[in-house]
Structure 1
Amino acid sequence: MANRLASATSPYLLQHKDNPVDWWPWGEAAFDEARRRDVPVLISVGYAACHWCHVMAHESFEDEAVAGLMNDGFVAIKVDREERPDVDAVYMTATQAMSGQGGWPMTVFATPDGEPFFCGTYYPKPHFTRLLESVGVAWREQRDEILKQGAAVVQVLGGAQLVGGPTAPISAELLAAAAAGLYKEQDQLYGGFGGAPKFPPHMNLLFLLRHHQRTGSAEALEVVRHAAERMGRGGIYDQLAGGFARYAVDATWTVPHFEKMLYDNALLLRAYTQLWRLGGDPLAKRIADETADFLLRDLGAPAGGLASALDADTDGVEGLTYAWTPAQLVEVLGEDDGRWAADLFRVTEQGTFEHGSSVLVLARDIDDAEPALVERWRSVRAKLLDARNRRPQPARDDKIVASWNGLAITALAEHGALTGSAASRDAAVALAAVLAERHLVDGRLRRVSRDGLVGEPAGVLEDYGCVAEGFLAVHQITADGRWLTLAKQLLDVALAHFGTGQGGFYDTADDAERLVTRPADPTDNATPSGLSAICAALVSYAALAGETSYREAADAALETVAPLFGQHPRFAGYSATVAEAALTGPYEIAIATHDPDDALVAAAQRHAPPGTVLVVGEPDQPGVPLLADRPLIDGRPTAYVCRGFVCDRPVTDPADLIARLTS
């Protein structure tokens, strides 16, 4: 037995390097070995922060007897879904088709050519043992049937991709239908959409905020405000340190699945920042500020970049770091403050979590409370966090994922620009530099790095889209032409190597590793789809650079996903967000000024229509098309407002600019 994971860069694969299983990393060598031995492959897909991945590893992969069955009858391949989203996408589609559901850990039995013939997710040890034995017998005695099934699954997978499907032009009617669909699915009591388990609907919130701003819909804004308040006061939000967990196991946002993902927090930072911008909600401002602090404090990597996630488990126990009993509160805070905190955070003797412990929720509105109450809350919170920091802490998946860091760059740039946070602004620029200098290799993106070293997996479409959008966000806050040039470079690669030829995009490049099928999923799920991410960058780049061909590519791609707006709006949140910007123009605002803190800039930031691109800087800065031929009028800071490459007269008065933007 020779486990081959010790040299992996993925923290998830390294978690399995000491298993008695003869694991292979994903690669042609593993499939060659399966052909040589004439055995099927067992592909196990998961990620480092996944609770049930840990459970299955402990029950089965660390067990000598189970490992013996795996080693004798299969070539076992371990895949980090975050490092290889292309592999995950192919086999997740197969798993959902064959079992009716998907999730991680994902367990796939495939032929030596990679064709899946039996798929599932988590299996308890007794079930998994029987499954290994049954598949082994079937491979020896029913080989022809297995091969036929694998070929049939691959054919279905190819047909499942929405390439060449129905299209529709972006319209106000389609976006109104998307909003109406979300209103119907809203949880009127607890906010958000659907029931348990309940995921933070960050992309749908971003869409509804833009929809509200374009249409004036009070209902759209209220749906966002209600969900944001319930999540921000719920257990899914870390009431002591900030940051959101992956999802709540209940419909009330009380008990989270404790893993904290970079992508969720980046997208939620954007949503709360924009909610505060539009509504002035103090809770939204506080949550945005604390989420930005969480990203930089808890996910910042020593070599630069933001780490992927914090684990759901601590020492093998889910939630061990985060849950409290009334006695523990009293022990840390004393009798009076302990009982007060138990009431404030709804920590009861019965408990809301496990073994009589509770997850902290905020039982009352603290953001508009009297100063004495706010001060007591802050004091109690600081003492509890200090005590919690002395507990065992969850592990951190410290790989740097290009697309997720791209999402964080955009979020931090927006937060910095709108709130004046220098820390967020500086972090956005620093993160962009890490991706440009480390992940961009020979003109192409690499998906992951760790400890300052870039990994081999090629970037997928979502990497190109999210990183390009992040570079464009940094261009806007710095007026540095370098970032516009780099974004164009990424978009040109995407257009040349990822296009379907029918308006849409594949998730992998035409020169990437060949899988059993080429994934092309346009739906938004945990993160923006590659298609919606690249469209966001294309729309912004076209507006910033004045190059209409990029806008035409975005419009064509959005038309391929537009039919989802009315049918499945919860899975088209980011593409609908981009469509709102496209339908609005988007506006292009250039402010020529020697003073970036001028009131004219603040007016533009607070009142800019959906998806506006905004550049502030000295006139005629090299590499900044939006500032070209844009002089100061009478020596005063001057705003130039354009829409669809058609410009109004310049304005120098903030009130005039606000009227122009809100008319």
Structure 2
Amino acid sequence: MKSIIVALFLLASPVLAQDRAANHLVGQTSPYLKQHLYNVVDWYPWGPEALNKARTEGKPIFLSIGYASCHWCHVMEEESFENDEIGAFLNEHFVAIKIDREERPDLDEQFMLVTQTVTGGGGWPNSVFLTSEAQPFYGGTYYPPDTFLSILQQLSTMWRDDRPDIEENATALGNVVREYLGRKAAAYPLTAEIATQLAQQSLATMDDFNGGFGVAPKFPQESSLLFLLDQAERSSDAELLEVVQIAAAGMVNGGLHDQVGGGFHRYAVDNAWAVPHFEKMLYNQALIGRVLLRLDSLQPNPSFARAAQRAFDYVLRDMTAPDGGFYAAEDADSLTTTGELEEGVFYVWTPAQVRTHAGAESEFLIDALTVEEDGNFEGASTLQLSGEEVDVERLDTGLELLRQARMLRPKPRRDDKILLSWNAEMIVTLVQAARAFDRPEYLTAAQSSARFILAKMRNGEGYYRVNTGGIASIDAQLPDYAGFGRALVALADADPAGNWLAEAERIGHYLVEHFQQSDGLFQMNSEAQGLGDYIQLDDGVLPSGSAQVQLLLSALARRSSDVFFSQQADALTDILSGQALAAPVRRIAAIAAVDAQNRGDVGPVRAIANGAVLVSTVIDRGEGLLNLNIEIAEGWHINAHEPLEAYFIPTTLEVNGTDIGSDAYPDPLITTLSFNEASLLALYEGRIELSVPIKVGANAVTLTLQSCSDEICLAPESLSFSFW
């Protein structure tokens, strides 16, 4: 019976065992909520109907928050929410509400804080108990069925016998949570010295042997890695670069990396990145991929470049909707040969399985991928590169044999929600990857996702957060708007003719009008939700909404002639840095965003001259050259390396303080301009390329130029790059 239920569950059948009637989740589009549609528990979605029912009937609320690819959410469903005794008790004494945390990150963050306050920890499923007025009084995570029923019985008795005490405690707990969510720190400037100090302090938390931060469970923590790379590039700090390289190598070579199909799992349950928690999330592909791109741009690394492209190819192959958006996730669990739903079974291998499908390449693959008889996960092996030198072409050929064989296994369920903020991060990364690897299909995929959002996720002047099965729903939140604005800026850099920048600018104005508070910070929702207004400062699976607003305003300020954006970006920096410095480890993305506004962008793409000039760098691995491309908008020019007028600022490129030499610069255009037709000028227009040999060791590269139109010349600007 169990295997029959699981199979029907995976196929999303409208009928389950015993022809059970659907609950109040009918009509919900969330794949996670649909999974619970035929539970014994009479679930409601979060909204007025459920909240009014609790208030009218005087019942407490049991709030369960999870997501479709969550292993322990599945376990608690099977053990408790399909349990007749538990379901009957819940339905009689509580109003049961289900929330998909990926649809509602605002409610997820608020109620996770409740559980963390009560228990000192957190996770999913998040199990929170609220009064009939929706004020929290208790919280936990996964409970075994006997424990869960006992808690329900105890809390029900307490609600009946001591309701005033519970409501008093709920008021106190709610106030603690609201105080934290509404916390404010004094404005404080972020200096270069403070940013450098924070980077150095973070080294103390690094795992020097396996790479990454802290101990198991070990998460990628991409925002922290990207901050370290920012600081490495700003100061040519080889130590900071190396610690990120060690972390990336651990992830790329370990079981966190899906060696067969490409892409990365959500986190590792051990210190060595060997055994993952097997769900695969879109945001990890975007953010781990971005870390690998940055590393490869600073010091070419074929292993990182390969892993990044395999992750992006996986997204295009398996996570892309036919009409353009990117799906949210793939589950950790799938069916075994006996019909049982188990974690990781799709991804792990035994030596016998490899030999069955890989033929003459079997022993090579078994050695290269560390496939052992006893295995390291339930009698099988997660695949890990052994660390020895390996023939990559031969490895990839063998991995394709295993991928084709793996496709015969029951696949993990895919969560086909299209989430605005997650798609935005994927767009940004794919645009960068298209430029770095000369892969135009990545840019095409990014453009298709953006066009899908523009066509299918508009909500009047705003946006929806979610599109599932062609149905858009749930008002977009701060990370959605700011993230999509950043994605549009990235597309505008790559495709200036696409009119992407105009919509990014409109979003910037929209955010200030609808999300900005009187103190200059930006709230999570345009209208209060859940426990009230709050400012998202802490990083989660994505950089915080506050960090993303700073990044968007800064990007627009560098690309727009509208002084509104530079004023807003400048005004936010000290306010946001004061908040971020109050808890820098949790708010490192905001630190990085403020640092970028104060000291300029880092990375391989830089906009200057109010967007009239775009500078990008790409390393030619075959020739050992850094190619620096300068793209100049129509109607603008920069002075040549040897201008004909002595008072003009020349374009110069220096490596470690030495100019690359006159012969390395292109021949200038000799012409006159309308403001001074009597004098000849030597200048560059359109697109020029400068090439620099990359030597072993640190290379500090500085580009200096002055941008002019027919009417004005802007102040000279210098851009600094670091390469190893």
Query: What's the secondary structure of 1:17's corresponding residue?
Result: coil
Give a deviation string over 1:297-339, Cα, whole Å, max 9, x none: 11101232001000011132000100111111112123x5322
Matches within 5 A, 1:3-402: 3-161=23-181, 163-315=183-335, 316-334=341-359, 337-354=361-378, 356-365=379-388, 369=390, 373-402=391-420
Shift of 1:49: 0.5
Match of 1:584 among 590, 593, 599: 599
Give the structure 2 partner of residue 637 of structure 1.
687
Are the aligned partners of 1:117 and 1:150 in contact in 2 as well (CA < 8 Å)?
A: yes
Matches of 1:222 and 1:388 in 2, distance apart?
Answer: 35
Matches of 1:123 and 1:660 in 2, distance apart?
Answer: 55
2:544 pairs with 1:522: no
Match of 1:553 among 565, 568, 574: 568
Aligned residues: CA RMSD: 2.9
Shift of 1:552: 3.6
Are the structure 2 counterparts of residues 288 and 294 from structure 1 closer, same or farther at C-alpha, using a change threshold of 3 Å?
same
Query: What's the secondary structure of 1:446's corresponding residue?
Result: strand
Are the aligned partners of 2:59 and 2:132 in contact in 1 as well (CA < 8 Å)?
A: yes
Are the structure 2 counterparts of residues 473 and 614 from structure 1 closer, same or farther at C-alpha, using a change threshold of 3 Å?
farther
Are the aligned partners of 1:47 and 1:80 in contact in 2 as well (CA < 8 Å)?
A: yes
Matches of 1:552 and 1:636 in 2, distance apart?
Answer: 30
Give the structure 1 partner of residue 338 of structure 2.
none
Query: What's the secondary structure of 2:541's corresponding residue?
Result: coil
Are the structure 2 counterparts of residues 569 and 225 from structure 1 closer, same or farther at C-alpha, using a change threshold of 3 Å?
farther
Query: What's the secondary structure of 2:559's corresponding residue?
Result: helix
Matches of 1:262 and 1:375 in 2, distance apart?
Answer: 27
Are the aligned partners of 1:507 and 1:520 in contact in 2 as well (CA < 8 Å)?
A: yes
Give the structure 1 partner of residue 649 of structure 2.
none
Give the structure 2 partner of residue 450 of structure 1.
468
Are the aligned partners of 2:334 and 2:413 in contact in 1 as well (CA < 8 Å)?
A: yes
Shift of 1:572: 2.6
Shift of 1:554: 3.1
Matches of 2:549 and 2:181 in 1, distance apart?
Answer: 18
TM-score (normalizing by structure 2): 0.82
Matches of 1:635 and 1:165 in 2, distance apart?
Answer: 47
Matches of 1:339 and 1:618 in 2, distance apart?
Answer: 56
Matches within 5 A, 1:361-510: 361-365=384-388, 369=390, 373-455=391-473, 457-480=474-497, 482-509=499-526
Q: Which runs of 5 or more structure 2 residues have no equivalent in the other structure?
A: 1-20, 336-340, 621-627, 637-673, 676-680, 691-703, 710-715
Are the structure 2 counterparts of residues 571 and 164 from structure 1 closer, same or farther at C-alpha, using a change threshold of 3 Å?
closer
Matches of 2:594 and 2:629 in 1, distance apart?
Answer: 18
Matches of 2:719 and 2:550 in 1, distance apart?
Answer: 27
Matches of 1:221 and 1:290 in 2, distance apart?
Answer: 23
Match of 2:706 among 645, 648, 653: 648
Query: What's the secondary structure of 1:323's corresponding residue?
Result: coil
Give a deviation string over 1:333-372, Cα, whole Å, max 9, x none: 23x5322222211111121111x20100001255xx5xxx
Q: Tell me how many residue pairs correspond in the alignment.
A: 625
Shift of 1:379: 2.0
Equivalent residue letter for 1:215: S
Give the structure 1 partner of residue 549 of structure 2.
534
Matches of 1:404 and 1:5 in 2, distance apart?
Answer: 25
Matches of 1:636 and 1:104 in 2, distance apart?
Answer: 53
Query: What's the secondary structure of 2:138's corresponding residue?
Result: strand
Matches of 1:585 and 1:521 in 2, distance apart?
Answer: 24
Are the aligned partners of 2:629 and 2:688 in contact in 1 as well (CA < 8 Å)?
A: no
Are the structure 2 counterparts of residues 108 and 588 from structure 1 closer, same or farther at C-alpha, using a change threshold of 3 Å?
same
Shift of 1:634: 6.3
Shift of 1:212: 1.3
Shift of 1:546: 3.2
Are the structure 2 counterparts of residues 386 and 632 from structure 1 closer, same or farther at C-alpha, using a change threshold of 3 Å?
farther
Are the structure 2 counterparts of residues 26 and 649 from structure 1 closer, same or farther at C-alpha, using a change threshold of 3 Å?
closer
Query: What's the secondary structure of 1:545's corresponding residue?
Result: coil
Are the structure 2 counterparts of residues 330 and 567 from structure 1 closer, same or farther at C-alpha, using a change threshold of 3 Å?
farther
Give the structure 2 partner of residue 597 of structure 1.
none
Are the aligned partners of 2:185 and 2:579 in contact in 1 as well (CA < 8 Å)?
A: no
Matches of 1:228 and 1:636 in 2, distance apart?
Answer: 37
Matches of 1:231 and 1:254 in 2, distance apart?
Answer: 9
Equivalent residue letter for 2:448: A
Give a deviation string over 1:552-608, Cα, whole Å, max 9, x none: 433443434435766754423322332342233245347999xxxxxx98864569x
Equivalent residue letter for 2:104: R
Query: What's the secondary structure of 1:447's corresponding residue?
Result: strand
Equivalent residue letter for 1:379: T
Give the structure 1 partner of residue 7 of structure 2.
none
Are the aligned partners of 1:476 and 1:615 in contact in 2 as well (CA < 8 Å)?
A: no
Give a deviation string over 1:68-122, Cα, whole Å, max 9, x none: 0110001111100111111112111111111111111011111122101111111
Query: What's the secondary structure of 1:553's corresponding residue?
Result: helix
TM-score (normalizing by structure 1): 0.89
Equivalent residue letter for 2:607: E
Are the structure 2 counterparts of residues 650 and 237 from structure 1 closer, same or farther at C-alpha, using a change threshold of 3 Å?
farther
Are the aligned partners of 1:234 and 1:362 in contact in 2 as well (CA < 8 Å)?
A: yes
| Higher mean C-alpha displacement, 555-564 vs 400-409 | 555-564
Equivalent residue letter for 2:413: A
Matches of 1:302 and 1:603 in 2, distance apart?
Answer: 32
| Higher mean C-alpha displacement, 422-431 vs 556-565 | 556-565
Q: Which has the higher contact order (CA 8 A, sep 6+)?
A: 1
Are the structure 2 counterparts of residues 145 and 529 from structure 1 closer, same or farther at C-alpha, using a change threshold of 3 Å?
same
Matches of 1:435 and 1:364 in 2, distance apart?
Answer: 42
Equivalent residue letter for 2:144: P
Are the aligned partners of 1:591 and 1:601 in contact in 2 as well (CA < 8 Å)?
A: no
Shift of 1:44: 0.6
Equivalent residue letter for 1:637: R
Higher-helix-fraction structure: 1
Matches of 2:57 and 2:22 in 1, distance apart?
Answer: 16
Are the structure 2 counterparts of residues 165 and 658 from structure 1 closer, same or farther at C-alpha, using a change threshold of 3 Å?
closer
Are the aligned partners of 2:559 and 2:610 in contact in 1 as well (CA < 8 Å)?
A: no
Are the structure 2 counterparts of residues 604 and 235 from structure 1 closer, same or farther at C-alpha, using a change threshold of 3 Å?
closer
Shift of 1:226: 1.0
Matches of 1:3 and 1:635 in 2, distance apart?
Answer: 65
Shift of 1:467: 0.7
Give a deviation string over 1:616-648, Cα, whole Å, max 9, x none: 475159xxxxxxx999946663599xxxxx962
Are the structure 2 counterparts of residues 504 and 602 from structure 1 closer, same or farther at C-alpha, using a change threshold of 3 Å?
closer
Shift of 1:661: 4.3
Shift of 1:517: 2.3
